[in-house]
Amino acid sequence: MSRLYLDWNATTPLRPEARAAMASAMDLVGNPSSVHAEGRAAKAMLERARAQVAAAVGCAPDEVIFTSGATEAAMVLSRLPAGHDVLVDPTAHDCLWAHLRTGGGAAVGHTLAWGLANNETGVIAEPPRGAEGGWLYGDRKADWLLLDIVQAVGKVPFSFAWSGADMAVVSAHKFGGPKGVGALIVRGGLDITSLSLGGGQEMGRRAGTENLIGIAGMGAAAEAAARDLAAGVWDEVAEIRNILESELSASTNKTISVGNGLPRLPNTLCLIAPGWKGETQVMAMDLAGFAVSAGSACSSGKVRPSRVLRSMGFDEAQAAQAIRVSIGPGVTKDDVQRFGRAWTAAYAKALARAA
Ligand code: PLP
């Protein structure tokens, strides 16, 4: 039996469109900042990718700043004006959480960093709007909103312009692009300090020669992902996920499907299996030929209960018993049923051993 990759929220397979665009980029010698013909050809490729990403996330091309990924893009939270506090949604990814900054009432402004779709549970949560507009977090009003749209892009409709956000972070490898490239989206006119200092690339907002190969792959993947989304490909993915959910939930009535009933990404299933540790599940499934995750990829390897699940009200034991299965287009009903059988059998064995 061949292996089955069911960890799409950690990273996705490279799309053929991205591979082809990257191969073309490899044949270009020019630096996009050079004025000669070779440089202009590289620049044209860079700007094409910028337009593709802008179209996929619903912003203007000059609002797209290419980075090495969402984590680097989130560094903008440490480049805000002096005295600006950063409020962070507790279910947000570590790359936002790491920037939590509260100055104890002396703040001159607030930025709310908010994860639109959660990587561990798939739960989609709109940022809290205040009654008079703006963003309200607890009793604090945020002047600016940074949205983490990493897991949403390509899976659910999203428009930066419509969202009202001031900034957003994106990562290419979550929608079929290569790893190590992403973007910071910044609303036109927003005054933020450059992510890095030097040559003034990326409209003076991220210095350093651009990763043209990765960026070309990101642009092609963004365009293809937007096309697939419009064609309804993810509606089919949701149907397969729902089959998977009923297969796993049928094994015992004690499992908890996290986020069931809430708005959710079409591809994600987060299941708490009482009496069976998440890490043990991942290892058992790996040996059986399936790649799944116990939590976010970034926290795997570190044995600590998920902050996301804890903040949703699950206790420490429950948070440590969660498995995340995340799928994508091309994963079939047969595939998830095969996984369901293997998981159910392994769970029964684990419970018998514990009894
Ligand atoms: N935000 C979310 C919701 C994610 O799932 C991830 C990756 O797991 C990131 C941010 C960070 O992306 P990257 O590691 O590509 O910078």
Same domain, 163 and 213: yes
Q: Is the CB of 155 under 6 A from ligand 1?
A: no
**Pocket of ligand 1 contains residue 171 by CB under 6 Å:** yes
Would 128 be classed as within a structural domain? yes
Provide the domain count of the chain: 2
Pocket probe mutation, ligand 1, options 156, 171, 306, max atoms within 8 Å of Cβ: 171
What CATH number has the domain bearing residue 169? 3.40.640.10
Q: Which of residues 229, 244, 268 is at a domain's end?
A: 229
> Is residue 170 a part of any domain in this protein?
yes
pLDDT for position 297: 46
Separation of CA 40 and ligand 1 centre (Å) = 32
Indicate if 270 belongs to the active site: no
Span 197-222, pLDDT tens digits: 999 999 999 999 999 999 999 999 99
Q: Provide the pLDDT for residue 250.
A: 85
Atom of ligand 1 nearest to the CA of 92: 3
Atom number of ligand 1 nearest to Cα 72: 16
Ligand 1 atom at shortest distance from the alpha carbon of 71: 16
Q: Are residues 104 and 132 in the same domain?
A: yes
**Residue 14 three-state SS:** coil
User: Catalytic pick from 59, 95, 270, 298?
Assistant: 298
Last residue of a domain, one of 212, 229, 246: 229
Distance in Å, CA 70 to ligand 1 centroid? 6
Same domain, 179 and 220: yes
Please indicate, yes or no, if residue 5 is contained in any of the structural domains: no
Q: 70: Cβ below 6 Å to ligand 1?
A: yes
Do 206 and 267 reside in the same domain of the chain?
A: no
**Residue 308: CATH number of its domain:** 3.90.1150.10
* Domain membership flag for residue 50: yes
Residue 252 CA, ligand 1 centroid: distance in Å: 32
pLDDT tens digit sequence for 293-337: 996 544 555 557 789 999 999 999 999 999 999 999 999 999 999
pLDDT score of 299? 52
Q: Is residue 137 part of a domain?
A: yes
Residue 90 and residue 102 share a domain: yes
Nearest residue by C-alpha to atom 7 in ligand 1: 10
- pLDDT of amino acid 107: 79
**Domain limits at 53?**
18-229
Tell me: do 79 and 100 sit in the same domain: yes
Are residues 297 and 242 both part of a single domain? Answer: yes
Same domain, 292 and 187: no
Q: 185 and 58, same structural domain?
A: yes
The rounded distance, in Å, linking the Cα atoms of 258 and 119 is: 12
Helix orientation angle between 37-57 and 16-26, rounded to the nearest 10 degrees: 160
Domain boundary residue among 194, 229, 264? 229
- Give a yes or no: residue 212 inside a domain: yes
Q: Which of 64, 302, 291, 25 is nearest to 178 (CA)?
A: 25
**DSSP code, position 13:** P
Q: At CA 341, angle to CA 336 and CA 347, rounded to 5?
A: 120
Q: For residue 195, what is the DSSP state?
A: S
Clarify whether residues 39 and 173 are in a common domain.
Answer: yes
Is 218 in the same domain as 330? no
CA quadruple 304, 307, 309, 311: dihedral, nearest 10: 140
In a domain, 13, yes or no: no
Nearest-10 Cα torsion for 205, 208, 213, 219: 0
For every residue of 65-98, DSSP letters joined together read EEESSHHHHHGGGGSSPTTEEEEE-TTS-HHHHT
pLDDT of residue 224: 98
Q: Identify whether residues 41 and 100 lie together within a single domain.
A: yes
List the chain residues with pLDDT less than 70. 104-105, 253, 295-303
Asked, for residue 2, whether it belongs to a domain, the answer is: no
